[in-house]
């Protein structure tokens, strides 16, 4: 029996070697098949290779009154060599509640393109909403996304986001672009800081005019900025000081001023401005109220911004 054992072992080894060869061949075949399949990119891989992104979202107003239509611009940037079909969706939410979902097919091509979506939000006010935008393939794979928000308000003071502008030089031509940028940040009211001719006389017939600090300013620029703000639903508020006047005006009306215990007129700076008496019914207060009326009657400002300097504390 021992003489036949080596032969049996040889046969068993050959069988084992053959099985190993078959197994290795099967593994190689599977690997090759997998490589062959992976060489065909999925629809998602085709899109992603072309670097699709949402480069910007822009609502057309700083806020919306109940019943107003929202217009959303979606700016898309791609590196496509040709055209490809995709789906653009916008999900409207309030807190964790889904309010609506908009979806439309888009044709993507190389470079920049803009798609506009319009919808009517609920009329409940005040209320804020989120917008989650996505670009997807036909099979639902997400390619790009971005988010923004908007408010539905009866008036801007229900949810104020206050900014300011301070450049009113003649020939300024970027009013529209300025308000477009502010709208991206949902700024819904603007202080027009130091826009006036004088602190005691806001308007003048001069155009352009020189303000108290020696700057050349333009009423045309002021009006253009107001108009551009209103196009975006942004309120325009003119800066005023409740008790500041030029020294020249104080010298004409010394009895209107505010004095300290030593009988000295209160000042802002050494030779810049005098502090006037702002008590209700005072000559200065009546003069200032008349100035407010003139501003509101002759400009498109939406109200009056009142300021005070914090000093003096008494007079």
In order, the DSSP letters of 131-169 are EEEEEE-TT--EEEEEEEEEEE-SSGGGS--EEEE----
The structural domain count of the chain equals 2
Domain hosting residue 127, numbered range:
51-152
Out of 124, 152, 180, pick the residue that ends a domain: 152
Q: How far is CA 69 from CA 156, 195, 233, in A?
A: 17, 33, 13
pLDDT value at residue 310: 79
Same-domain pairing of 168 and 199: yes
pLDDT value at residue 48: 54
Out of 152, 175, 207, pick the residue that ends a domain: 152
Same-domain pairing of 201 and 284: yes
pLDDT value at residue 158: 98
- Number of C-beta neighbours around residue 239 at 10 A: 18
pLDDT value at residue 182: 98
The CATH number that applies at residue 102 is 2.60.40.10
- Residue 148 CA to residue 53 CA, distance in Å, equals 15
pLDDT value at residue 104: 95
Same-domain pairing of 129 and 167: no
Q: What does each of the 315 residues of the chain score in pLDDT, given as a tens digit?
A: 444 444 444 444 444 444 444 444 444 443 344 434 444 544 454 555 458 999 999 999 999 999 999 999 999 999 888 889 999 999 999 999 999 999 999 999 889 999 999 999 999 999 999 999 999 998 889 999 999 999 999 999 999 999 999 999 999 999 999 999 999 999 999 999 999 999 999 999 999 999 999 999 999 999 999 999 999 999 999 999 999 999 999 999 999 999 999 999 999 887 899 999 999 999 999 999 999 999 999 999 999 999 998 777 666
Site of tokens 């004095």: 259
Same-domain pairing of 274 and 297: yes
Q: Which of 136, 77, 53, 66 is nearest to 101 (CA)?
A: 136
The CATH number that applies at residue 275 is 3.20.20.80
Same-domain pairing of 168 and 293: yes
Q: What is the value of pTM for the model shown?
A: 0.82
Q: Is residue 20 part of a domain?
A: no
Q: Is residue 277 part of a domain?
A: yes
Same-domain pairing of 77 and 209: no
Out of 111, 126, 152, pick the residue that ends a domain: 152
């Amino acid at each position: 029996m021992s003489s036949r054992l080596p032969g049996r072992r040889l046969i068993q080894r050959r069988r084992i070697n053959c099985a190993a060869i078959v197994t290795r061949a099967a593994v190689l075949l599977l690997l090759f098949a997998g490589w062959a399949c992976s060489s065909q990119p999925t629809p998602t891989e085709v899109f992603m290779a072309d670097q699709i992104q949402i480069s910007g979202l822009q609502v057309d107003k700083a806020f919306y009154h109940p019943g107003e239509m929202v217009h959303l611009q979606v700016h898309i940037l791609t590196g496509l060599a040709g055209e490809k079909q995709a789906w653009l969706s916008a999900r409207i939410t309030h807190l964790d509640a889904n309010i609506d979902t908009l979806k439309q097919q888009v044709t993507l091509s190389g470079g920049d393109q803009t798609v506009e979506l319009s919808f009517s939000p609920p009329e409940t006010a005040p209320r804020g909403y989120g917008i989650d935008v996505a670009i997807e393939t036909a099979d639902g794979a997400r390619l790009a996304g971005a988010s923004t928000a908007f408010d539905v308000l009866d008036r801007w003071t229900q949810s104020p986001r206050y900014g300011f502008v301070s450049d009113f030089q003649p020939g300024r031509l970027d009013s529209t672009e300025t308000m477009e940028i502010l709208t991206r940040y949902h700024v819904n009211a603007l202080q027009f800081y130091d826009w006036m001719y004088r602190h005691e006389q806001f308007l003048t017939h001069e155009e352009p005019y020189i303000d108290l600090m020696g700057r050349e300013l333009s009423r045309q620029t002021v009006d253009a900025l107001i108009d551009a703000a209103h196009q975006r639903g942004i309120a325009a508020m003119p800066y005023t000081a409740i008790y500041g006047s030029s020294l020249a005006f104080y010298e004409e009306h010394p009895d209107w001023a505010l004095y300290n215990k030593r009988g000295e007129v209160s000042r802002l700076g050494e030779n810049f401005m005098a502090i006037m008496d702002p008590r209700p019914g005072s000559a200065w207060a009546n003069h200032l109220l008349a100035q407010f009326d003139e501003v509101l009657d002759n400009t498109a400002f939406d109200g009056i911004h009142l300021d005070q300097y914090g000093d003096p504390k008494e007079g």
